[in-house]
Structure 1
Amino acid sequence: MVARKRASVPVKRVLIVVLACLLPVFACNFPRRPQNPPSLLEEELRLTLTALAVSTYSIATPPPSSPDVSAPSPFQGLQTATPDEPPLGTPPAPGQSEVPSLFEYIAQSGDTLSAIAKRFGVEPEHITSPQPIPIEALIPPGQLLSIPSTLGETPYPSALLPDSEVVYSPAAIDFQVQDFVQKASGYLSSYGESLEGEWLTGAQIVQKVAIENSINPRVLLAFLEYRSNWVLGQPKDPNQVDYPIGFYVPDYRGLYKELLLTATQLGMGYYGWRSGMLTMLTFPDGSAARLSPGLNAGSVALQVLFSKFYRQEEWRETLYGPESFTRMYQQTFNDPWARATRSEPLFPMDLAQPPLELPFAPGERWSFTGGPHLSWNSGSARGALDFSPVTGEAICLPSSAWVTASAPGIVARSSHEVVAIDLDGDGYEGTGWVLLYLHLPEPDRVPLGTRVEVDDRLGHPSCERGKSTGTHVHLARKYNGEWIPADGPLPFVLSGWEVEAGNKSYAGSLIRGDQIVTANPGGSQSSVIVR
Structure 2
Amino acid sequence: MVPTNTPVPSATPTRSTATPTPSATPTTPVSPTPGPTIAPDLALEFTTLKNGQYLGYVAQRYGVSLDELVQFSGIINPDVVPIGQGLIIPHHTDLATPDEVLLPDSELVYGQGYVDFDLAAFVEEQGGRLSQVSMTGLDGEQWSGADVVERVAARYSVGPRVLLALMEAGSGWVTDPDPQGNAADYPLGHTNGAPGLLPQLEWAANELNHGFYGWLDRGETAIPFEDGTIARGAPGLNPGTVAVQRTMAADTSFSQ
2:118 corresponds to = 176
Q: Which has the higher contact order (CA 8 A, sep 6+)?
A: 2
**How far 1:247 moved relative to its partner?**
2.5
Which runs of structure 1 show a deviation greater than 4 angstroms over 4 or more consecutive aligned residues?
Answer: 1-4, 151-155
1:221 maps onto 2:176 in alignment: no
Q: Over residues 124-160 of structure 1, what are the superposed CA-to-partner deviations in whole Å (9 max), with x where a residue is unaligned?
A: xxxxxxxxxxxxxxxxxxxxxxxxxxx9995522211
Letter in 1 for 2:115: I
Letter in 2 for 1:247: H
CA distance in 2 between counterparts of 1:152 and 1:258 reads 31
**How far 1:244 moved relative to its partner?**
1.6
1:204 corresponds to = 147
Mark the structure with the bigger radius of gyration: 1
**How far 1:287 moved relative to its partner?**
1.6
TM-score by length of 1: 0.32
1:275 maps onto 2:200 in alignment: no
The answer on whether the counterparts of 1:228 and 1:235 sit within 8 Å (CA) in structure 2 is: no
2:248 corresponds to = 306
CA distance in 1 between counterparts of 2:98 and 2:190 reads 25
Q: How has the CA–CA distance of structure 1 residues 276 and 294 changed in structure 2, closer, same or farther, with 3 Å as cutoff?
A: farther
CA distance in 2 between counterparts of 1:307 and 1:207 reads 24
The answer on whether the counterparts of 1:244 and 1:258 sit within 8 Å (CA) in structure 2 is: yes
**How far 1:195 moved relative to its partner?**
2.3
Alignment of 1:116-195 (within 5 A): 119-121=36-38, 154-195=96-137
CA distance in 2 between counterparts of 1:214 and 1:159 reads 21
2:180 corresponds to = 237
SS of residue matched to 2:177: coil
Q: Over residues 153-194 of structure 1, what are the superposed CA-to-partner deviations in whole Å (9 max), with x where a residue is unaligned?
A: 955222111101111021111101111011111111111112
**How far 1:245 moved relative to its partner?**
1.6
The answer on whether the counterparts of 2:95 and 2:231 sit within 8 Å (CA) in structure 1 is: no
**How far 1:306 moved relative to its partner?**
1.0
Q: How has the CA–CA distance of structure 1 residues 186 and 295 changed in structure 2, closer, same or farther, with 3 Å as cutoff?
A: same
2:23 corresponds to = none
2:15 corresponds to = 5
Range with bigger deviation, 277-286 or 208-217: 277-286
1:75 maps onto 2:30 in alignment: yes
| % same residue | 35
Q: Over residues 435-473 of structure 1, what are the superposed CA-to-partner deviations in whole Å (9 max), with x where a residue is unaligned?
A: xxxxxxxxxxxxxxxxxxxxxxxxxxxxxxxxxxxxxxx
Q: How has the CA–CA distance of structure 1 residues 255 and 155 changed in structure 2, closer, same or farther, with 3 Å as cutoff?
A: closer
CA distance in 1 between counterparts of 2:14 and 2:222 reads 26
CA distance in 1 between counterparts of 2:183 and 2:96 reads 35
CA distance in 1 between counterparts of 2:29 and 2:125 reads 32
CA distance in 2 between counterparts of 1:236 and 1:178 reads 20
**How far 1:4 moved relative to its partner?**
5.2
SS of residue matched to 1:312: coil
CA distance in 2 between counterparts of 1:186 and 1:213 reads 24
Higher helix share: 2
**How far 1:302 moved relative to its partner?**
0.6
CA distance in 2 between counterparts of 1:152 and 1:185 reads 43
**How far 1:297 moved relative to its partner?**
0.4
1:519 corresponds to = none
Letter in 2 for 1:223: L
Q: How has the CA–CA distance of structure 1 residues 266 and 248 changed in structure 2, closer, same or farther, with 3 Å as cutoff?
A: same
Range with bigger deviation, 273-282 or 171-180: 273-282
**How far 1:303 moved relative to its partner?**
0.8
**How far 1:311 moved relative to its partner?**
0.6
Q: Over residues 67-86 of structure 1, what are the superposed CA-to-partner deviations in whole Å (9 max), with x where a residue is unaligned?
A: xxxxxx9535x4xxxxxxxx
Higher strand share: 1
**How far 1:256 moved relative to its partner?**
1.1
Please report the RMSD computed on the Cα atoms of aligned residues, expressed in angstroms.
2.7
SS of residue matched to 1:286: coil
Letter in 2 for 1:194: T
1:254 corresponds to = 196
CA distance in 1 between counterparts of 2:238 and 2:96 reads 15
Q: Over residues 190-233 of structure 1, what are the superposed CA-to-partner deviations in whole Å (9 max), with x where a residue is unaligned?
A: 11112213221001011111111100010111111111111112
Q: How has the CA–CA distance of structure 1 residues 246 and 298 changed in structure 2, closer, same or farther, with 3 Å as cutoff?
A: same
SS of residue matched to 1:120: coil
Q: Over residues 403-444 of structure 1, what are the superposed CA-to-partner deviations in whole Å (9 max), with x where a residue is unaligned?
A: xxxxxxxxxxxxxxxxxxxxxxxxxxxxxxxxxxxxxxxxxx
Q: Which segments of 5 or more consecutive residues in structure 2 lack a partner in the other structure?
A: 3-12, 17-27, 40-92
Letter in 1 for 2:30: F
Q: How has the CA–CA distance of structure 1 residues 155 and 214 changed in structure 2, closer, same or farther, with 3 Å as cutoff?
A: closer
SS of residue matched to 2:125: helix
